[in-house]
Structure 1
């Protein structure tokens, strides 16, 4: 029987220690690399440059051990070997010590291409992309050739920053050096061109590729998805499927980000066995949530093996968008119970769900969480809080939060300006804007100007609006549709429909919001027939009307007494465009029919409503009864309104006016008494009649 020699009797030469160190690199040895190195020194062997190179690779887990190795390298003079110092430099970069790595690089008496490439790639990996680009220029100027890895690390920076000329220069160098044939470089180039909205160039590169890997196909699908070209993305995927190229989780994620049908992709995920991939399931949850299929999203989340902060955030965001704050709070509690750290993005999405003053206590609780977690110091969260408080009409808190910001980028100025306007404090918004200009703050952008135009509409300040119009023209903001829409809205609300129409005519392709502003502008100016003509022209040009469009159209019909036109438009809204009428739409129609003395039609419409009529709907009919002196029906409607909201001051005003028109003074007194008993003792507007 053959016995193994005891370890002490084994000849410990370089190959033995090198094997042990290599096993540490691959994670096959639990021993410390430093311990092995010390054993090597005790064995009277003198480590050579090859030993130190392996030791460096094995010592990445500990900064202290790395410094110890560096000291020995320096003392022994092994640092004269370029590749040893390059290995040391590369390891420091992988551990995030960029300054230390740069110092080592600067101290190198000679540098080769590998050293340059290592530093450039390390800079790029650690978020110093612009410094990496400057190093790359110096490297090329000094005659060194970049590697494929270098170019792959530089191109994402060019794409993210929109540096098209920089990226094209990299492409030129890749072509000249033959690196363009490298599949990794070609994939990076495709991704770069897609991010810079140059899909034609990306398509050419993809078509030229002879050996397309799964990564290549995924890159092209991702390029189309990022540009919201769903059909093109799916066409590439279909071609990929037909060529039997392996489909990876990235393929599915890219398709889902491009809004390709999530139901069919879900089936594919099940068939290909990707149901255990957490990133794929999270993407599917986000897709279902985004499309409003929250039941499916929640079931999918519950079936997942892991709890995902991204998936939960997506579900919470969808409920917040719907305004279902109770469910949002329940999910937030669940996230806290699971010890998930709610990040800035998740918290801002939650804050968006606090939409009215009834949510103020909940909103303040989230504010408290933001303070406790330290998230309130982040600009994104501070802006979200300012937006929330502006919805509560709490301008003082908005201004307080703004004053607490250490840095005030343009997005924060825009948040406080638009917040003040939304709260009905346009004069405060203009004061904030004046401060912004006074301290030489950031230059206003299109969003700033649109918010200020809304403020002009609120104040009916035409002169200020004209000044802003001049600023828009000087700074070429007239190409922004939403700025022109705000400008049209401002002129219309300030009583100048002609100027509003002049602006409208300058827009080559008006969007739905722009058409809506023009329709409501004509309606406000008493030009009902022109409002209807504008609506017909909108449909003729292929723009699809929305709920706001029909609010403008029905308002025009109501003010002009255009009953037939109103009925036609209301039917079109429901049957042609499939839009469910809101309470505002019903109130306008009921008012239109009531003022035309079509009480039976008005009541029939109310009884057929899919939603419960509120005081605004009944109030529209009561107002019509007052105008037409319809006492009996008016009393019936008033009772309905009283049952809905007995504290509604408008109810008492309308009833008092109705009785006053018929000189029923005892009833006027009775209504006044009821109003006082319910906490309203203001002027009703009937004393002169009396």
Structure 2
């Protein structure tokens, strides 16, 4: 402390000491010395001095000292409390603000119009509706409610607490309505989705002689976007521009997401031009919004260009780029961009990693998703409750059970396993990995369930062909007052079709509309066609298609063609195939199904015609492919492929097993080879089916009695089905095989499907 300051404090004159205390320049040390001097001189009893000290302590954030000081004042006045209350509220210490306000009232000190707005702000910030209403009541009884600043603060409070009716009542009785209060009310209505009310209040501003400012316009644009009224947000932006108000960075950042969701690419380009013209191209928030907009509008070239032209890239823009590629199915480009950014040592966050994992999981790059999850943890980025549900489908897609269990363990360790989205993903993962009993255990333990949880467990049982359990779950769902949705009925119908519950399936199809007013969608008709077709009622299935209220798509005709393949119905099969050739001209699966129908009838000339047609279109049959996880590693085997390092051992083991089958009177079902070749060649072809190769690989690399799990990209053939039933008994194994239709659980020479698939 300077000598001059010491000389000032040496004097006993009150004015001299008071003038020496400056809020902006007095240090904490000087404040404490002044405090001590006031105590020595007896001037401490003067509230002018103590209020000044309180302000200084608050300015230095020494709230413990300030509280000791205010507790030592015998008769504090409104200024003593208002200093601290204002500072607490300004710093976001809302509980301290309300507590000090209560102490003020207990001392019999009545607040003034400068204290109330700070207290109301604290109630608003802590979402304390009850406390705010009590303050409002006090203001009414004390007459403070007539003050425009108090009225404005209360309007903001009710808007923040989503009590728009109270806010509007206050607005209607305001003595001096201002632009701040109007903007708050308008923004509140817009955010809550009350479009009409927001526009009415906005229109009243002109009647009241209040000119909207940028905050008013931005509140409307941002609010409509937030509440999902995207068209209103865009129209308000255009109106703002036509009225001569210049949109700022906040406006542009708020309207671009609305443009994105509407996929108004032309409007997006115009806003982009405006942003460049007015120098907003260096605003990272706006650039990220532009990248996101172009991605959602499927303009990936423009999206990449905006990203490449960024002067300084930030993680938000990187995430928008990755999501844009993923949204457009450009998984390779997303991976390339992510790896490039990672190599540049840009600090990618949990959103970045989650986005790329989700992208790979959704677009068939399941192994890449698992590898990325491991790299994410190696990089020190902690997965969250969004990451795990994005990863788990990849585990389920390729039956990577050990990886799924590891993710489950991580969710337990981090305390996110009870999250409803994580829980739903775990139910789905265990079902996809063949562990439907674990799915049910996890479902039963969930503390909170939403419709997705119910649908996940029902879908799991449906995939396993357990229609009885699906129907029981549905009854339990109805008893718990959870209303089913369209996905629920898809699971019900699918389960019934897998188990041959034809009458039950038709019953629930009728209940959709009758009991729940859910209009059947295209997928429900596809399930109904499958239900009837699989039961051999091909003509009834075709009749359903002709009576549909909308045009049947490839899924519906594909369901009919698949049933014709199972039941060798050539006439309706040809009709279904012709429709599919029109709807899906580049789908080789439809040509293969028709070819198989001809082959079953021995019509080899017709088979050759279909295959020549495929060749002329440059199409090839999708090769059979199976996955099996062995010792935490996923192996992929292609039908007829000889590249696996253990292929010699696999074929030798398969030959030995084949001999054992024949000894027991079980011979290869060569009718499933739909080629015009000798029986010996047919047996050789059957040996190359991918699911057989995967099962035998599992036998070679695991101990006797171990469970095997195989995923196949096509429907399992009848010969493979017989072969795996034999192996389950001969090798004493439980074997799970998931094909495109359902799960087959082989045990003791039997299959859970009951040979109905």
When the two structures are superposed, what TM-score results if normalisation uses the length of structure 1?
0.70
Is 1:155 equivalent to 2:75 in the alignment? no
Shift of 1:673: 0.7
**Distance 1:137-1:661 versus aligned 2 partners, 3 A rule:** farther
1:176-187 alignment runs, 5 A limit? 181-187=111-117
2:238 to 302, 313, 330: 302
2:612 to 657, 665, 673: 673
Is 1:188 equivalent to 2:118 in the alignment? yes
2:133 to 203, 206, 217: 203
**Distance 1:620-1:470 versus aligned 2 partners, 3 A rule:** same
1:87-236 alignment runs, 5 A limit? 89=24, 117=55, 134-137=61-64, 139-140=66-67, 148=82, 151-155=85-89, 157-158=91-92, 171=101, 181-210=111-140, 211-212=144-145, 213=147, 216=150, 219=153, 222-223=156-157, 225-226=159-160, 229=162, 233-236=163-166
Counterpart contact for 2:81–2:100, Cα < 8 Å? no
Counterpart contact for 1:587–1:620, Cα < 8 Å? yes
Distance 2:506 2:552 in 1: 19
2:347 to 407, 422, 444: 407
Higher mean alpha-carbon deviation, 579-588 vs 668-677, is at 579-588
CA offset digits 1:152-195 (Å, max 9, x no partner): 34325436xxxx76555655666578788244543333433443
Determine the structure 2 residue equivalent to 1:366. 303
Counterpart contact for 2:265–2:294, Cα < 8 Å? no
Shift of 1:668: 0.8
Counterpart contact for 1:554–1:588, Cα < 8 Å? yes
Determine the structure 2 residue equivalent to 1:513. 452
**Distance 1:242-1:582 versus aligned 2 partners, 3 A rule:** same
Q: Secondary structure of 1:446's match?
A: coil
Is 1:532 equivalent to 2:471 in the alignment? yes
Is 1:237 equivalent to 2:167 in the alignment? yes
Is 1:256 equivalent to 2:192 in the alignment? no
Give unpaired runs (5+ residues) of structure 2.
1-15, 36-48, 74-78, 625-671, 677-757
Is 1:658 equivalent to 2:602 in the alignment? no
**Distance 1:303-1:553 versus aligned 2 partners, 3 A rule:** same
Counterpart contact for 2:370–2:403, Cα < 8 Å? no
CA offset digits 1:261-286 (Å, max 9, x no partner): 22133223324537952543443344
Determine the structure 1 residue equivalent to 2:261. 321
Shift of 1:670: 0.7
**Distance 1:604-1:85 versus aligned 2 partners, 3 A rule:** same
Determine the structure 1 residue equivalent to 2:216. 280
Distance 1:290 1:464 in 2: 37
Counterpart contact for 1:430–1:452, Cα < 8 Å? yes
Q: Secondary structure of 1:477's match?
A: coil
Determine the structure 1 residue equivalent to 2:338. 398
When the two structures are superposed, what TM-score results if normalisation uses the length of structure 2?
0.65
Is 1:456 equivalent to 2:419 in the alignment? no
Q: Secondary structure of 2:618's match?
A: coil
**Distance 1:625-1:236 versus aligned 2 partners, 3 A rule:** same
Distance 2:610 2:542 in 1: 25
Give unpaired runs (5+ residues) of structure 1.
1-79, 90-100, 122-131
Counterpart contact for 1:351–1:366, Cα < 8 Å? yes
**Distance 1:619-1:318 versus aligned 2 partners, 3 A rule:** farther
Counterpart contact for 2:400–2:433, Cα < 8 Å? yes
Q: Secondary structure of 2:278's match?
A: coil
Higher mean alpha-carbon deviation, 476-485 vs 195-204, is at 195-204
Is 1:552 equivalent to 2:491 in the alignment? yes
Aligned length: 572
Determine the structure 2 residue equivalent to 1:500. 439
Shift of 1:237: 3.1
Shift of 1:638: 1.8
Q: Secondary structure of 2:92's match?
A: helix
Counterpart contact for 2:462–2:470, Cα < 8 Å? yes
Larger RCO: Structure 1 or Structure 2 (Cα < 8 Å, ≥ 6 residues apart)? 2
Higher mean alpha-carbon deviation, 292-301 vs 384-393, is at 292-301
Distance 1:536 1:314 in 2: 45
Shift of 1:523: 1.4
Counterpart contact for 2:191–2:223, Cα < 8 Å? no
**Distance 1:336-1:606 versus aligned 2 partners, 3 A rule:** farther
Q: Secondary structure of 2:309's match?
A: helix
Distance 1:688 1:205 in 2: 83
Counterpart contact for 2:98–2:122, Cα < 8 Å? no
Counterpart contact for 1:252–1:280, Cα < 8 Å? no
Shift of 1:676: 1.0
Determine the structure 1 residue equivalent to 2:481. 542
Q: Secondary structure of 1:479's match?
A: coil
